[in-house]
Structure 1
Amino acid sequence: MTQEAYVSQGPLTTEAGAPVADNQNSETAGVGGPVLVQDQLLLEKLAHFNRERIPERVVHARGAGAYGTFTVTADVTKYTRAKFLSEIGKETEVFLRFSTVAGNLGAADAVRDPRGWAMKFYTEEGNYDLVGNNTPVFFIRDAIKFPDFIHTQKRDPYTGSQEADNVFDFWGLSPESTHQVTWLFGDRGIPASYRHMDGFGSHTFQWNNEDGEVFWVKYHFKTDQGIKNLTAEEAEILAGKDPDSHQRDLREAIERGEFPTWTAYVQIMPAADAATYRFNPFDLTKVWPHADYPLIEYGKLELNRNPENIFAEVEQSIFSPAHFVPGIGPSPDKMLQGRLFGYGDAHRYRVGINADQLPVNRPKATEARSHGRDGFLYDGRHGGAKNYEPNSFGGPFQTNRPLWQPFTDFTGATGNHPTPVHAEDNDFVQAGNLYRLMTEDEKERLVKNLANAISGVTRDDIAERAINNFRQADADFGKRLEVAVQALRG
């Protein structure tokens, strides 16, 4: 919005709409006297200023967002009945928020950290949120470990800083993290910009068609700008010179009309394959090799409009993996199951119980019709309509058709069970496969990045345990890392 748009809007007012006579000088008891409590404009401004911030996200606090469109490019109706995917050429408005994971709201963009990929589709059947990362896997497979994991990435309760001891102590004791750590410390660990990285749903999700057939799917968004990354040395300089580098790059590219695009793909597994697939298909620390389930193109994503107000549209935007639409649903992925609760609960605390009705979050292609009432900042949108169901006053009614198909074939006693292990499952095989796919130069940079990080560990046992995970992934990987760490630690 240009400055000219603000000309001749009428007199400045208080929050209640009364005209302001003097916005330069507070009211005092005579010239040079103390300020009076009756100066309600002063008190209103100071009180509002003290409350201009809401609690930042515990994770993914640092982010940037943009609006755009998702266009269907291939027929996937035999796999899903979701209406926004119902025909080639169909467009749906989207809002996409990128973020780093561990940093706080004031952290730098160019750091070694996964990037969040939170995408809201404003569909005619309600909002569908796809909340993933720029990596196809994650550090852990069970949500019960998530608070502990994030505590290791955040500030130590004694030092107030992120500590290598905490980071590698947890990773060393959680061997399932080896695959994701190999990703993170490789060349793609520091994207050059949000435009030059891929996005993933990461989890396994359910698609179901009109006939009730179930398919397990994984989402991929491949950048059309090409993959570009920063070395550790380049990132260190950029983070110091321009902490806002990624946010600035995205905003300015859209302002120039260079709208970033991604080609959307999906991997599709028939439900019957899941039980005998060589890897547990619901384990977030694993990928499905493309040789087993190839990428199928189905859409194009374009970002083409910047938010007008960062606080209103980026900071107050909310995303939840539990926001599904008919034809799409969850899987038994234990990490996803925890996120179905965790994200919504975080936003109800952070933004408020009516956060879904803020402009950036409310449905745009349909209307929300619920019996949720009142609470902080309720706007009275329901008027005098009845607030219960069923009712005989014309209120909204249930459809009797679930959004997704039920899970089946689960037996046994309740209990704290580990994730089921399939034929080729272990915590190291895919990390080793990833390492062996790298070129010699890529391996050298990976080892250097990891060695620099592990060399900051103060205890020998923590360092050795961390190295041993990579040794089990690949003997050469572990040996190189051991030598590099010893050289740095003396």
Structure 2
Amino acid sequence: MSTGSIQNTVSSSEALFQLNRDVAANQLQTYRSNNEPVLMTSLSGMPIGDKVYSLTAGSRGPILLQDACLLDELGQFNEEKIPERCSYAKGTGVFGFFQCTTDIGSTLTRAHFLNTRNKQTPIAIRFSRFSSELGSSDTIRDIRGMAIKFYTDCGNFDLICNHLPVFFIRDPILYPSLVHSQKRNPVTNLFDYDAYWDFLTLRPETTHCLVLLYSHRGIPNGYRYMNGYSVNTYKFLSDDDNISYVRFHIKSNQGISSIDPTKALVLAGLDSDYATRDLYNTICINKELPSWTVCVQQMNEQEMKNSSYDPFDTTKIWPKTYYPLIALGTITLNRLPTNHFAEIEQLAFSPANLVPGIELSQDKMLQARIFAYSDAQRYRLGKNYAQLPVNRPLNPIANNHRNGSMCLNNQNGAPTYFPNSFHGATTSYRFKESIYPIEGGNIARYECSNEQDEFSQAKTFYRQILSPDERIMLARNLSKSLVLTQQFICKRAIENFSNVDQDLANDIEHFLNLQRPTKMEDCSVQTDLERKI
């Protein structure tokens, strides 16, 4: 065979190989096709002549301290990682836009990006898993996060959503304990079944979220096929200063799809980045861009006061029968990050980032998050994290904050104090917060919900939403997770679920009995991955 024939054969084989690979796998090949080679430089821009060998005194001599190239290489490597998020660590992100489609004008909110028909607002969105660690699987049973940054004309609005409409707890003082119970045991460095279920069963308000999580909704088929729910309650302020309370619903236009637990277990071993890969390839192919419809449920002041349950309770939903969805616009994702670390890992969210027309409500979880998120970003990224390109708002920044590590915008020579007489940053009464009365009473540590009704909404979901087959699946999924906990914890869990429905408790106990070993030698260890799925 001639040399030319061999080269043609190799080229054909390579082309066939590339065709059989997905878009994400071909990222480096795509880069090579679109770029020319570049000259390597130091951090200061000096061209580098050799990056293969260290500078030594003779071929077997010691390394020299003057090898700045080596020192930079090692020093930069040591600090190229930043602390992972305490929760929602594993995730991916994409960019796109929100387009307002409503005609409601400013009667609902004075936030322009939500009340101006056809107005487009750039967004960044990050999908994640609640109890994940970096490197964990995308197909483990867990709450998924959907955090959206709207780059509006009046600053950034950060909307933090989950794929389930309720959360485990409603008082923020329990949040660190919730996260700790789902992390590794500090002695064994393994997932602790007893800690997980002990905490959850000691707090009956977690039951509603648990029933949703262990149903077929617990493992979404990638990020495109799930909804997002704010869970927290926000306050809308109209141009007429009317106040209403809202919860956001981000409805997938692709529909809702979940993964069977058996398939999820296989995927966890074969492709731990299943959801990330699906999102990347879908957008890169650029045929059908993922989209969601942004809606809100609205409750006026009187309805809030007359509600039979606490509307700020994050373990409760607002029934759509009484508070129907109001569509505001559509989110479309159309751009992948050019660098995951710069644009996604350094993407920083905080519920404290609000815009005129959207305010905080009395939601205790939301109020605590405005500190917790911002403080976490200062720890992860530094004092000036908001100045990073992906976190910067579109409108100019003017305030009294200066200096600090990695300061990118020190606002030139503007005055650093307020008030001042030299054209420094000033305020406008047009953007003052709304005024609302507070309830009188004693300062104390109050239970967030007075009626202590932890099970009625979970009961409605179980009896009216789930089919008979889905109820059996729920019981089986719960039993798989409960089987390796201690008997007294199992008993407490079954008692909690009996308050949802006695049939559910009976089915869980039935499946537990099938899985428990009858002899000591029959006892086998279930893996952490199997429990979570």
Q: What is the TM-score when the length of structure 2 is the normalising length? A: 0.89
Q: Given the alignment, which residue of 420, 424, 441 partners 1:412?
A: 441
Q: Which residue in 1 is equivalent to 2:133?
A: 104
Question: Structure 2 CA distance, aligned partners of 1:403 and 1:95?
Answer: 27
Q: Does 1:200 align with 2:200?
A: no
Q: Which residue in 1 is equivalent to 2:461?
A: 434
Task: Specify every segment of 5 or more residues in structure 1 that has no aligned partner in the other structure, as ranges.
Answer: none
Q: Which residue in 1 is equivalent to 2:247?
A: 218
Q: Given the alignment, which residue of 114, 132, 135 partners 2:161?
A: 132
Q: Does 1:357 align with 2:384?
A: no
Q: Given the alignment, which residue of 206, 212, 236 partners 1:177?
A: 206
Do 1:328 and 1:404's aligned partners in 2 also have CA atoms closer than 8 Å? Answer: no
CA deviation map 1:2-52 (0-9, x unaligned) = 33554264x322112222121121111012222111111101111100110
Q: Tell me how far 1:468 sits from its aligned partner.
A: 1.1
Secondary structure at the residue paired with 2:98?
strand
Question: Structure 2 CA distance, aligned partners of 1:20 and 1:207?
Answer: 57
Question: Structure 1 CA distance, aligned partners of 2:409 and 2:387?
Answer: 11
Letter in 2 for 1:39: D
Q: Which residue in 1 is equivalent to 2:366?
A: 336
Q: Does 1:486 align with 2:513?
A: yes
Residues 403/108 of structure 1: CA separation in 2 closer, same or farther (3 Å cut): farther
Q: Does 1:156 align with 2:168?
A: no
Letter in 2 for 1:31: S
Q: Which residue in 2 is equivalent to 1:315?
A: 345
Q: Does 1:460 align with 2:487?
A: yes
Secondary structure at the residue paired with 1:408?
coil
Secondary structure at the residue paired with 1:67?
strand
Matches within 5 A, 1:216-295: 216-257=245-286, 258-295=288-325
Q: Which residue in 2 is equivalent to 1:18?
A: 46
Residues 463/403 of structure 1: CA separation in 2 closer, same or farther (3 Å cut): farther
Residues 404/467 of structure 1: CA separation in 2 closer, same or farther (3 Å cut): farther
Secondary structure at the residue paired with 2:266?
helix
Letter in 2 for 1:481: I
Q: Which residue in 2 is equivalent to 1:62?
A: 90
Do 2:403 and 2:410's aligned partners in 1 also have CA atoms closer than 8 Å? Answer: no
Question: Structure 2 CA distance, aligned partners of 1:260 and 1:371?
Answer: 40
Matches within 5 A, 1:377-392: 377-392=406-421
Question: Structure 2 CA distance, aligned partners of 1:295 and 1:172?
Answer: 33
Q: What is the TM-score when the length of structure 1 is the normalising length? A: 0.97
Question: Structure 2 CA distance, aligned partners of 1:466 and 1:265?
Answer: 35
Do 1:69 and 1:301's aligned partners in 2 also have CA atoms closer than 8 Å? Answer: yes
Do 1:327 and 1:403's aligned partners in 2 also have CA atoms closer than 8 Å? Answer: no
Question: Structure 2 CA distance, aligned partners of 1:302 and 1:412?
Answer: 47
Question: Structure 2 CA distance, aligned partners of 1:79 and 1:18?
Answer: 57
Q: Does 1:36 align with 2:64?
A: yes
Deviates more, 1:180-189 or 1:327-336: 327-336
Secondary structure at the residue paired with 1:473?
coil
Aligned residues: 485
Q: Which residue in 2 is equivalent to 1:71?
A: 99
Do 2:387 and 2:409's aligned partners in 1 also have CA atoms closer than 8 Å? Answer: no
Residues 65/226 of structure 1: CA separation in 2 closer, same or farther (3 Å cut): same
Letter in 2 for 1:36: L
Question: Structure 2 CA distance, aligned partners of 1:158 and 1:2?
Answer: 45
Q: Tell me how far 1:402 sits from its aligned partner.
A: 4.4
Q: Does 1:446 align with 2:474?
A: yes
Question: Structure 2 CA distance, aligned partners of 1:456 and 1:185?
Answer: 16
Q: Does 1:121 align with 2:177?
A: no
Question: Structure 2 CA distance, aligned partners of 1:404 and 1:487?
Answer: 58
Question: Structure 2 CA distance, aligned partners of 1:137 and 1:351?
Answer: 29
CA deviation map 1:90-141 (0-9, x unaligned) = 1100000000011111111111000011000000000000012111100000
Deviates more, 1:475-484 or 1:35-44: 475-484
Q: Tell me how far 1:409 sits from its aligned partner.
A: 3.7
Q: Which residue in 1 is equivalent to 2:12?
A: none
Question: Structure 2 CA distance, aligned partners of 1:353 and 1:81?
Answer: 31
Question: Structure 2 CA distance, aligned partners of 1:358 and 1:172?
Answer: 42
Larger-Rg structure: 2
Do 1:324 and 1:403's aligned partners in 2 also have CA atoms closer than 8 Å? Answer: no
Letter in 2 for 1:256: I
Task: Specify every segment of 5 or more residues in structure 2 that has no aligned partner in the other structure, as ranges.
Answer: 1-29, 518-533
Secondary structure at the residue paired with 2:248?
strand
Deviates more, 1:476-485 or 1:338-347: 476-485
Secondary structure at the residue paired with 2:126?
strand
Question: Structure 1 CA distance, aligned partners of 2:186 and 2:93?
Answer: 31
Letter in 1 for 2:178: F
Q: Which residue in 1 is equivalent to 2:10?
A: none
Deviates more, 1:320-329 or 1:380-389: 380-389
Q: Which residue in 1 is equivalent to 2:521?
A: none
Do 1:155 and 1:163's aligned partners in 2 also have CA atoms closer than 8 Å? Answer: yes
Question: Structure 2 CA distance, aligned partners of 1:403 and 1:198?
Answer: 33
Do 2:102 and 2:115's aligned partners in 1 also have CA atoms closer than 8 Å? Answer: no
Q: Which has the higher contact order (CA 8 A, sep 6+)?
A: 1
